[in-house]
Amino acid sequence: MNKSSSQSAFHAIPWTGKAILLVDLDAFFASVEQRDHPDWRGKPVIVGGDPDKRGVVSTASYEARVFGVHSAMPSSQAKRLCPQAIWTHGHFDRYREMSNQIIKILSDETPYVQQVSIDEAFLDVTPTKVNTEHPIQIAMRIQQRVEDLGVTCSIGIGSSKTIAKIASEMDKPRGLTIVYPGTENDFLSPLPVRALSGIGPSAETKLKKVGITTLGQLAQTPRHEIERMFGKAGSVMHIRANGGDDSGIVTDESIKSVSNETSFAKDLTKAHEVEAAIATMASKVGRRLRKKNLKGSTLALRIRYGDRTVRSIQTTLAAPSNDDLEFIPKLYKMLRDIWHEGMPVRLVGVAMTGFDEPPESTEQLSLFEIEDNQTNNHEDFEPLIAEPTKRKKLLDATDSIRDRFGDTSVQFGSEIRSYQNTTGSSSKNVADYK
DNA sequence: TCTGGGGTCCTAGGACCC
DNA sequence: TCTGGGGTCCTAGGACCC
């Protein structure tokens, strides 16, 4: 990319003050699928759960959106609207990989990159004496480089994160929307309150009851009235509706929780089914914690009942843990506090939070060591897990095997039951694997 | 055959300590 | 002996985001 030549051909109103970009990848998951499957390009593609298993749409390609399909729509409804759509459950490692490549592109422009999700990031590209380039030029170069990777993005440019975010949504896909400093209030005032990040269905309803439907009306309402309705959040939304938002780019966001949850095609009612589901979720959480080298001190269990009401229970562990063999029994105890046999269970979730302790140094076993440590004998299994350091090695080894051969390749007793009960698929235990 | 799964942040009440 | 207040931790629930 030749900066000087593109600069000479570039004419725009000079940018004064802070410049924030919001880069949003267009229909990201579906776009990656179309990139990776050339024959899917130009066709409706839906990434989401099964229509007959209470699934929802994660992302719909623009070709599918023409039929009215959109994110979070029940898959069953999407299927009715667009029966010819190509359906996939998604390949999240692949999306993560693409996302990382794009973050690298953004990091070439500035160190002030804040990734807000797998498909969105803020950048601070405020012109300085050293970096005099116009924000629009930077945005155009980012769009080109992202397209070179085979997906597209929309970008909003403004004087704050709030403005950049809303601007990015004005024109999709491949849009570039600029809100010049000083024009923020004209830009915001006609927009519906829902345009503001932080105002969801609940706040929208509450505001409508007092006659506020636009950001202009929200901005004109005395601050204290909005604070009375929404507390601290109200103060923030009032400031933002008035074009104010001095929040900066946060670059070092550490993980605060790791969770796994699943909804069932049919509600569970039997204790062994619910316990098996909990064990499966817990083992996934444990594995991800170990992968991230994290140990959590607060363990939480979440149940959604047949009537969709939710209950949760959490407990503080005596010592931080990432060992599901250790905390699964605790989850069973917690389960008894919020559920009894016969109550329909629609969803089970397990979460670990409380990562206060600095992560301990990574200690990985090589594949050779794993094979050396691997046992062929089921009788050796129990004594092996009783001793903490050996247990860590066992967990490392099973994690590695799962990485290579998939989740169902290695299962502990409590999990095996879950697969037999819910899917009927065959499974192997550690001892069978070699 | 309506409404997932991964997160973050806030609130409010109770326990406990000083 | 009684009362109070602040700070902090813990817990459950809920709003919101992508």
Residues A85 and A201 grouped into a single domain: no
Q: Which amino acid is at A278?
A: I
Give chain A's domain count. 3
Q: Report the CATH number that the domain containing residue A221 is assigned in CATH.
A: 1.10.150.20
Q: Report CA(A334)–C1'(B13) in Å, whole number.
A: 21
Residue A24 in domain: yes
Q: How confident is the model at residue A418, as a pLDDT?
A: 37
Instruction: Say if residues A136 and A145 touch (Cβ distance below 8 Å).
Output: no
Q: Report the CATH number that the domain containing residue A300 is assigned in CATH.
A: 3.30.1490.100
Residues A286 and A427 grouped into a single domain: yes
Would you state the structure tokens that stand for residue A80, as one six-digit string?
């009715």
Give CA–CA dist A51/A32, Å, rounded: 22
Q: What is the per-residue pLDDT across A347-395, written as a single tens digit (0 to 9) for each?
A: 999 999 999 755 444 433 333 333 333 333 333 333 344 456 666 777 7
Q: Report CA(A359)–C1'(C9) in Å, whole number.
A: 22
Higher pLDDT, A11 or A250: A250
**A window 276-295: Cβ near strand B (< 7 A):** 284, 288
**A window 315-374: Cβ near strand B (< 7 A):** 346-347, 349, 351, 353
Nucleotide showing the shortest C1' distance to residue A309 CA: C13
Instruction: Say if residues A79 and A67 touch (Cβ distance below 8 Å).
Output: no
Nucleotide showing the shortest C1' distance to residue A80 CA: B1
Residue A249 in domain: no
Look at the block and give the residue holding tokens 């905390």. A327
Higher pLDDT, A363 or A287: A287
What share of chain A in percent tops pLDDT 90?
Answer: 76
Instruction: Say if residues A148 and A158 touch (Cβ distance below 8 Å).
Output: no
Q: Report CA(A230)–C1'(B9) in Å, whole number.
A: 14
Query: With 90 as the cut, is the pLDDT of residue A205 above it?
Result: yes
Residue A168 in domain: yes
Model confidence band, residue A61 (pLDDT cutoffs 50, 70, 90): very high
Residue A137 in domain: yes
Mean pLDDT of chain A: 85
Q: How confident is the model at residue A410, as a pLDDT?
A: 59
Query: With 70 as the cut, is the pLDDT of residue A241 above it?
Result: yes
* Nearest Cα residue to A322 out of A350, A294, A353: A294
Q: How confident is the model at residue A5, as a pLDDT?
A: 42
Q: Report CA(A209)–C1'(B6) in Å, whole number.
A: 32
CA distances from A301 to A281, A282, A351, A359 (A): 10, 9, 7, 23
Model confidence band, residue A399 (pLDDT cutoffs 50, 70, 90): confident
Residue A28 in domain: yes
Residues A4 and A19 grouped into a single domain: yes
Query: With 50 as the cut, is the pLDDT of residue A335 above it?
Result: yes
Furthest C-alpha separation in chain A: 76
Q: Name the closest residue (CA) to the C1' of nucleotide B2.
A: A74
Instruction: Say if residues A36 and A151 touch (Cβ distance below 8 Å).
Output: no
Least confident of A204-218, A262-276, A388-402: A388-402
Model confidence band, residue A412 (pLDDT cutoffs 50, 70, 90): low
Higher pLDDT, A91 or A409: A91
Phi and psi dihedrals of A208, rounded to 5?
-60, -35
Q: Report CA(A257)–C1'(C4) in Å, whole number.
A: 37
Instruction: Say if residues A349 and A259 touch (Cβ distance below 8 Å).
Output: yes
Nucleotides of B under 7 A from a protein CB: 1-12
Residues A194 and A171 grouped into a single domain: no
A377: containing domain? 257-433
Show which residues sit with Cβ under 7 A of nucleic chain C. A 72, 116-120, 165, 196-204, 298, 300, 310-316, 337, 354
Model confidence band, residue A400 (pLDDT cutoffs 50, 70, 90): confident
Domain end, chosen from A241, A271, A286, is at A241
Higher pLDDT, A230 or A404: A230
A97, A120, A147, A341: which one is catalytic? Answer: A120
Q: Report CA(A431)–C1'(B7) in Å, whole number.
A: 36
Question: Looking at chain A, how many residues does it have?
Answer: 434
Instruction: Compute the average pLDDT of residues A38-42.
Output: 97
Give CA–CA dist A405/A421, Å, rounded: 22
Residue A247 in domain: no
Asked whether residue A302's C-beta has any atom of DNA/RNA strand B within 7 A, the reply is: no
Higher pLDDT, A50 or A399: A50
Query: With 90 as the cut, is the pLDDT of residue A416 above it?
Result: no
Instruction: Compute the average pLDDT of residues A412-433.
Output: 35
Give CA–CA dist A22/A123, Å, rounded: 7
Is position A109 annotated as part of the catalytic site? no
C-alpha A207: how far from chain center: 28
Q: What is the per-residue pLDDT across A47-57, written as a single tens digit (0 to 9) for each?
A: 999 999 999 99
Instruction: Compute the average pLDDT of residues A267-271.
Output: 96
